[in-house]
A and B are shown apart, each in its own frame.
Chain A
Amino acid sequence: MEPSISTQSKLDIQSIREQFPVLKETAYGKPLVYFDNAATSQKPQVVIDAICDYYMHYNANIHRGVHFLSQKASAAFDQVRFKVQQFINAPSEREIIFVRGTTEAVNLVASTYGRQHVNAGDEVLISAMEHHSNIVPWQLLCEEKKAVLKVIPMNDAGELMLDQLPQLLTKKTKIVSLVHISNSLGTINPVKEVIALAHEMGIPVMIDGAQSVAHSMIDVQDLDCDFFAFSAHKMMGPTGVGCLFGKLNLLESMPPYQGGGEMIQSVSFEKTTYNEVPYKFEAGTPNIADVIALGTAIDFLNSLDRKAIAEYEASLLMYATKKLSVLPGLKIIGTAKAKASVISFVIEGVNALDAGMFLDTKGIAVRTGQHCTEPVMQRFGIPGTIRASFLFYNTMEEIDLLAEQLSKAIQFLKPQSVL
């Protein structure tokens, strides 16, 4: 029996949409349908206002001015560290490091913890569905240290083959870095299970939470992950800022990442002593405005019924899966049992770029290509996919339009011999 799809939600989607100015825009004179949320989410007015407000009313460098403005900016900035701590349920605010985004967070851990602990012949374990940003920093480390990068394989549904994990976790494994939700397949990985297994062998685990942070409630203590990274721009916040959570004892034992102001305690030409965690990892003037706006994005998400949002997003995915899978020649890539609201697909005889551009002419924004996960495409033997990714401000009507226009795209683009 087909699962019932509830198109009704406890959420007032229209009033949520009202708060996102971009959703009122048009593309080529047609109402914009934004289905590229896995790339970046749109921003509510309050987040945009927070950035303007900072620059208009209290722009100042933080943590060094004795003056009114600097104190005001410092207080606003520092408050966000506390908000992030609460948001992901970290034990201490000192475990939150502001970075440029998930990519920088992975690079930070690879360059500090990685350099410190990974030596010749050691192993770093990632998975077959990592974004390039959780592959390349580890490859750079492994090349430098003559270490080995190992990969947890996945099955045809796009699920990790965890039965292989006991063989892959060895005495040589120094760190596991794993994506929480795949950006190209939508798979939600059982990270808690992997973390527990790795911890049995004393191996720390880093979680790439870029895709999970907007969709689900994150509890780093429940997960028991050692590091957790995410970007603000995928969770209604601005670009250019993200966070790295790290367990305090690990952060304290790690060498600094970059040198500069703020990260030092005292400097002389003979010897520099470093500031305490988290400042040790935050060299230079931070991205003050965007950190403050990240705090506003967290307030915004907290103001919503997040359980109802998760249910609604699940119904969007189920509805889209039902509507799209009946289209001729369409094949969904990524059919894991546990999936976030991301639907990736290929269409027999139709090039992904051509179809994506067709949808674009109708005002529908999707992503096409490899989604920065080239090994995933190689695994499935395809050049790329068309990806529609949904957030709570999307509607069933928008999915109807996607299905209708995709059907037209297939008619228009498919060679007559295939039809």
Chain B
Amino acid sequence: MSTIAEREKEITEDFLLFDEWEDKYQYIIELGQKLKPLASEFKTDDRKIKGCQSSVWLHSYVSDGKIRFEADSDSTFVKGEIALLINVLSGQEPEAIIHAELGFIDEIGLREHMAQTRANGLASMIKQMKLDAFTFQHKTA
């Protein structure tokens, strides 16, 4: 079980292989294509994070005191971003999720493209993941 920092480091190293934004884009699309689709029963309005450009469904649950995330989007690129976030945050302790700084988003050069995908809900998704972690932490406390 690796920590958030360790997983972020792995992703950052993976992205070192790419110089061009085009290659990063293609890699993120491929991650999106590989992400396990969310079961349709979880694609409900209360799990939906609506953006102008695309929607995200986030399903969070606790197992063995760890928070698990599953998610989906109508955009494959956003699914790729989700895959990165799930890789880093799913299976971690609530406390660690709440305090995660997620510096890898800057390091892999995704932040520069955030203005474009600003409306796609990546920021809202991170906020929702942290909020869910916070809620679970207080439920169990």
Q: Which residues of B contact A368 (CB under 8 A)?
A: 53
Q: What CA separation (Å) do A168 and B119 show in the bound complex?
A: 36
Q: Find out whether the CB atom of A354 lies under 8 angstroms from the CB atom of B77.
A: yes
Q: Find out whether the CB atom of B53 lies under 8 angstroms from the CB atom of A361.
A: no
Shortest beta-carbon distance from B27 to chain A in Å: 12
Q: Find out whether the CB atom of B77 lies under 8 angstroms from the CB atom of A353.
A: yes
Query: Which residue from chain B places its CB closest to the CB of A416 in the assembled complex?
Result: B33
The secondary-structure label for the interface of chain B is helix
Q: Does chain B have a CB within 8 A of A68? A: no
User: Per-residue CB proximity of A2-32 to B under 8 Å, as 1/0?
Assistant: 0000000000000000000000000010000
Q: Does chain A have a CB within 8 A of B31? A: no
B interface residue numbers (CB < 8 A to A): 20-22, 25-26, 29, 33, 52-55, 74-78, 113, 116-117, 119-120
Shortest beta-carbon distance from B126 to chain A in Å: 18
Q: List 13 A-B contacts (CB under 8 A).
A: A351-B77, A352-B53, A353-B53, A353-B75, A354-B77, A361-B20, A361-B21, A361-B22, A361-B25, A362-B22, A368-B53, A369-B53, A383-B74
Q: What CA separation (Å) do A29 and B119 show in the bound complex?
A: 26
Q: Does chain B have a CB within 8 A of A370? A: yes
Query: Which residue from chain B places its CB closest to the CB of A27 in the assembled complex?
Result: B21
Shortest beta-carbon distance from B118 to chain A in Å: 11
Task: Out of A358, A361, A370, name the residue touching B52 (CB < 8 Å).
Answer: A370
Q: Does chain B have a CB within 8 A of A55? A: no
Query: Which residue from chain A places its CB closest to the CB of B28 in the assembled complex?
Result: A357
Q: Find out whether the CB atom of A354 lies under 8 angstroms from the CB atom of B75.
A: yes
Q: Which residues of B contact A384 (CB under 8 A)?
A: 52-53
Query: Which residue from chain A places its CB closest to the CB of B78 in the assembled complex?
Result: A353
Q: Which residues of A contact B77 (CB under 8 A)?
A: 351, 353-354, 357
Q: Does chain B have a CB within 8 A of A360? A: yes
Shortest beta-carbon distance from B71 to chain A in Å: 15
Q: Which residues of B contact A28 (CB under 8 A)?
A: 20-22
User: Per-residue CB proximity of A356-373 to B under 8 Å, as 1/0?
Assistant: 011011100000111000
Query: Which residue from chain A places its CB closest to the CB of B113 in the assembled complex?
Result: A357
A interface residue numbers (CB < 8 A to B): 28, 351-354, 357-358, 360-362, 368-370, 383-384, 412-413, 415
Query: Which residue from chain A places its CB closest to the CB of B30 in the assembled complex?
Result: A412
Task: Out of B29, B116, B119, name the residue touching A413 (CB < 8 Å).
Answer: B29
Q: Which residues of A contact B78 (CB under 8 A)?
A: 353
Given A351-B54, A361-B21, A384-B53, 4 other A-B contacts at CB below 8 A? A351-B77, A353-B117, A354-B76, A361-B22
Q: Which residues of A contact B22 (CB under 8 A)?
A: 28, 361-362
Q: Which residues of B contact A361 (CB under 8 A)?
A: 20-22, 25-26
Shortest beta-carbon distance from B136 to chain A in Å: 31
Shortest beta-carbon distance from B21 to chain A in Å: 5
With A360-B116, A369-B53, A370-B52 already in contact, the answer to whether A354 and B21 are too (CB < 8 A) is: no
Q: Specify which of A351, A353, A362, A370 lies most central, judged by the most chain B CB atoms within 10 Å of its CB.
A: A353
Task: Out of A351, A360, A415, name the residue touching B75 (CB < 8 Å).
Answer: A351
Q: Find out whether the CB atom of A357 lies under 8 angstroms from the CB atom of B74.
A: no
Task: Out of B20, B21, B26, B120, name the residue touching A353 (CB < 8 Å).
Answer: B120
Q: Which residues of B contact A357 (CB under 8 A)?
A: 25, 77, 113, 116-117
| A-B interface, 7 closest residue pairs, ranked by CB to CB distance from nearest | A361-B22, A351-B75, A353-B53, A353-B75, A369-B53, A354-B77, A361-B25
